[in-house]
Amino acid sequence: MLENLTPAGVTRFRLPKRQIPILVIPHAGDAVQLDPVVDTVLIEPDQGRLMLTWRTSMPLAKSIFDIKRVVIEQTLRKHLDQTRRSGKTHYANLGEMVRPEHGPRSR
């Protein structure tokens, strides 16, 4: 509730509740799903505007260059489903990929 901050005198609203999953895909290892939380609420009553900032973090082994890709608003399950539908072969691990029956075809 904003009181005496707008021409209307009192303005009431609810902060939106929204989940924004973030998928971090490293160059090596498994993807990690992060669930950020609202960190900052910026209210601009003269503009009739409300802005939210979400924040999350994760420890890195060496540097930011350990991360291959960051996908916002996508869960690990959805990402894997899209990868499989794209026609690309998906392997659970390197061992599965190099097995003779699953490995690259001989030319």
What phi and psi values does residue 27 have, to the nearest 5 degrees?
-70, -35
CB under 8 Å, gap of 24 or more: what pairs does 14-19 form? 15/41, 15/50, 15/52, 16/52
| pLDDT, tens digit (0-9, with 9 covering 90-100), for 1-55 | 889 888 888 888 888 888 888 889 888 888 888 999 999 999 988 888 889 999 9
More confident residue, 77 or 2: 2
pTM for the full predicted model:
0.57
| pLDDT, tens digit (0-9, with 9 covering 90-100), for 55-71 | 999 988 888 888 988 88
